[in-house]
Structure 1
Amino acid sequence: MGEWEEHKLEDITAEIGDGIHATPIYDDNGTFYFVNGNNISEYGITITATTQTVTEEEALRNNASALNSYSILLSINGTVGNVALYKNESIMLGKSACYINVSSNINRNYIFYYLMMPKCQFYFTSELTGTTIKNLSLKSIRKTKVLLPNANEQSKIARLFDAINERIATQNKIIEDLKKLKSAIVEKVFCSPNQEYPMCRIEGFEQALSTYKMSDFSSRIASKNKDSKCSLVLTIAAQYGLVNQESFFNKSVASDNLTGYYLLHKGEFAYNRSYSAGYDWGAVKRLDNYDEGVLSTLYICFKINETIVDSDYLAYYFESSKWHKGLSDIAGEGARNHGLLNVSITDYFNTKHRFPVIEEQKAIAKMLNTITEKERKATLLGECYQKQKQYLLRQMFI
């Protein structure tokens, strides 16, 4: 019922301010976290291992006392536009975060979701200043236009988004629990019998494990991309496997001439010797999402003999700490040079591995595949909830 009224954000708030622009006095024993824009997300304030702390006295002397049950936090420098509801956390704000204290007669959660609306986010983007590091001024924030329905409708809209957010958070927890479960099983299955807990075995299989060199069950791929037959350049992303390089980096970092690149087919493996930021140490991934692709010669590519080792089993084995530790041991302390791990191809294929019989491998892989499939479906459902929320953010606010 009734028309929506247009207001400036400054007219429906008690105070809008930002964090301190100076370096605070840090204290390792402090009880208040020093929070900036990169700590802010719609699901709350994220505290990491690198988040600094200050004393309560330092926090209250600055801006901690300005925060209350009506406060919304907004990232305004570098990362711009992230919002979070203040939930009485012990924090002090830095210059890349601001606080918006909503008037007591306005529904805070309604404003919280309104600030996430694409139209509002577009306004923030249009108001950015600076060249290298973008900044959103308090003046622009205060002038943000907000359309308000009556109090009852504000409350209903806020409750709807609260319910969606809660379901998304629950779905994220389900996905995270499945990842932890799979990781725990991988470690239990592949850990060395000499460690404090024994290697997990599948019931009904009692045969001793056999030791193989990598060269016993795999062979190196050295065939090149003749005449640049394939144009899909791949890269290893630790969390996603072998992916399209251009899509992953949002640009191509490959050579213009792809004839010297290795040609990899679906089901074959690649080992990444790079240890730079964003890569997994010792990452080995199987090509699953494409029929073929090309890789730089900095990779070691290989295919396996599936009469000895099951491909799915091996893919999980390469996720285990046992694999990573074994590779680290042969690399040695002085092996890092120019962004590469100096593991020679000979040493790589001479690494030794202990596997159960192929039937037990398949049973283990089947168990882990079941969890992987549940994780995949849970992730797809989570993405649907996110799309639903984004659709409603576009449609619910006029």
Structure 2
Amino acid sequence: MSNNQVLDFKENSVLPKLRFTEFEQEAQWEIKNLANIATFLKGKGISKADIDETGVIPCIRYGELYTTYNEIIDKVLSKTNIPTNNLILSKKNDVIIPSSGETHEDIAKASCVMLDDIALGGDLNIIRSHENGVFISYYLNSSLKSEISKIAQGNAVVHLYANQLKKLEIALPSPSEQGKIVNCLSSLDKVIESASIKLKLYIDHRTGMLQQLFPKDKENLPKLRLGKFSQEWENIELSQIAKPVKKKNSNEDKLKVLSLSNEHGLVSQADYFLKRVAGDNTDRYIVLQKNDFVYNDRITKNSTYGTIKRLSLYESGIVSPIYKCFRFEKNQDPVFWEYFFESKTHESEIKQIVNEGARAGRYNISIDKFLSINVMQPSLLEQEKIASCLTSLDHLISHQKNYIDKLKRHKKGLMQQLFPVVEEI
């Protein structure tokens, strides 16, 4: 590939920022109106209730473009039994794009269907063309994304109509250059897909390890033990090894105000909510130190307890008194206990407390009640072994996620350079 600096542009033509070397001497990309190279159709309603695992007709619903498919659809997951005379069926090379969505940005999500006779659901615009459909889908998802978001209409629900799509201008190179670009990006997509499959295997393995490294309810030993441990785990009350944290903030120091997040754990509001502590009244907030635990005691009828998280990102901080906080003794490994709570080994104990404390559809677990549950405790050495194993696995998962994010950023940057923005010319 090479960067291009072309001064003598022909009328109605354009060049991308990045072009494959073998096409440098070829003609510039010709700008065409989508209405001149394609016909437009609309999918026909397939509701969620119409999806049937035993169905005989493969189908695509518009929501799956956001959750399941990328630019190329060569395998369809959903099926239906709706009679074919009530459906709109695909032709290989059709490009589909939602006709409704939640935001202007999200609605610009195109895919090319590489299969015939796929039922295309309602809320799908269908662009049928003799041009390379995969090339068009990549183009729509890159340089034309902002243009599509501009022409989409609505606020709470955003709509995109065929008459609007027809007005879009797209620049087309020769078929061979289109194919080269498609091969480049689809190869990168395969790398991303392979990395994503590997990530799922890591996550599934982690789930299995959590199930095997901790005893099931009413059992004294886990299915899997790391190393030559033979001592039985001890059934004790949690209060024997953990104590409440109730120290109130003096507000003399500007400690980080922490908030409980399901995804991120205990995080600073300055980072997470983009606001600062200065001026907030935090006198009644509870002072935490690293490795302290926090849970939300306000839970609903269908859950067993609120999120339990360990302070791991910071050395100290303060949390709202709506949270309940506790700290393990020094002869315990807090990382082990974080995984212990995640494993749900203590779930039956919590359920018993919840049932006892039911009140007006909401359930509160006091810190004393929580610390009264029975837990299975291994030796400190075995705690450390289990914590080390799961921490290593979490690092592996984190590394894989970062790798996938880098690949996706690389793809996005590559697409921005491979496809010209017509409106800038």
TM-score normalized by structure 2?
A: 0.79
Q: Is the 8 A contact 2:96 2:113 kept in 1?
A: yes
Q: Is 1:56 the counterpart of 2:82 in the alignment?
A: yes
> Which residue of the other structure, out of 352, 362, 378, is the alignment partner of 2:384?
362
State the 1:204 CA deviation.
Answer: 1.3
1:129 aligns with 2:144: no
Q: Which runs of 5+ in 2 are unaligned?
A: 1-25, 71-76, 421-425
Equivalent residue, structure 1, for 2:202: 178
In 1: Cα distance, 2:108 partner to 2:199 partner = 26
Q: d(CA) in 2 for partners of 1:336 and 1:290?
A: 36
Structure-2 separation of matches of 1:184 and 1:336: 35
Deviation, 1:325, is: 4.1
Report the AA paired with residue 152 of structure 1: S
Say whether residues 1:344 and 2:372 are aligned partners.
Answer: no
The one of 108, 120, 143 equivalent to 1:81 is 108
Of residues 332, 350, 359 in structure 1, which corresponds to 2:355? 332
- Preserved CA contact (<8 Å) 2:215 2:376: no
Shift of residue 16, structure 1, vs aligned partner: 2.0
Partner of 1:48: none
How far apart are 1:249 and its partner, in Å? 6.6
Identify if the C-alpha distance between structure 1 residues 395 and 22 changes in structure 2 by more than 3 Å, giving closer, same or farther. closer
Alignment partner of 1:379 is 2:401: yes
Aligned residue pairs total 380
Say which SS state the counterpart of residue 144 (structure 2) adopts: helix
Moved more, 144-153 or 67-76: 67-76
Correspondences of 1:215-364 after superposition (within 5 Å):
215-227=239-251, 229-230=253-254, 232-245=256-269, 256-275=280-299, 281-307=305-331, 309-332=332-355, 335=358, 337=360, 340-364=362-386
Report Cα offsets for 1:22-53 as digits up to 9, x if no partner: 979847675557754322138518xxxxx997
- How much is the aligned-residue C-alpha RMSD, in angstroms? 3.3
Give the secondary-structure state (helix, strand or coil) at the position aligned to 1:332: helix
CA separation in 1, counterparts of 2:273 and 2:286?
A: 20
- Name the aligned partner's letter for residue 56 of structure 1: I
- Indicate the residue corresponding to 2:64 in structure 1: 39
Comparing 201-210 with 351-360, greater Cα deviation is found at 201-210
* Residues in 1 aligned to 2:49 and 2:389: alpha-carbon distance in whole angstroms: 52
Q: Which residue matches 1:169? A: 193
| 8 Å contact kept, 1:238–1:280 | no
Equivalent in the alignment of 1:94: 122
Measure how far apart 1:224 and its partner are: 2.8
Residue 203 to residue 379, structure 1, CA distance change in 2 (3 Å): same
Closer/same/farther in 2, CA of residues 356 and 259 from structure 1, 3 Å limit: same
Work out the CA distance in 1 between the residues paired with 2:257 and 2:244. Answer: 19
Give me the whole-angstrom Cα distance separating, in 2, the residues matched to 1:282 and 1:208.
30
Gaps of 5+ in 1: 46-50
The alpha carbon displacement at 1:245 in A equals 4.8
Name the CA shift for 1:174/1:222 in 2 (closer, same or farther; >3 Å): same
SS at match of 1:227: coil
Alignment partners' CA distance in 2, 1:366 and 1:54: 47
Counterpart secondary structure, 2:281: coil
2:423 is aligned to none
In structure 1, what residue type is equivalent to 2:37?
I
Whole-angstrom CA distance in 1 between matches of 2:322 and 2:51: 45
Q: Which has the larger radius of gyration?
A: 2
Please give the secondary structure, in 2, of the residue aligned with 1:82.
coil
Supply the distance in 1 between the matched residues of 2:391 and 2:180 (Cα, whole angstroms): 42
- CA displacement at 1:365 relative to structure 2: 1.3
Amino acid at match of 2:92: S
Q: Structure 1 length as normaliser, TM-score?
A: 0.84
Are positions 1:395 and 2:424 aligned together? no
AA matched with 1:317: F
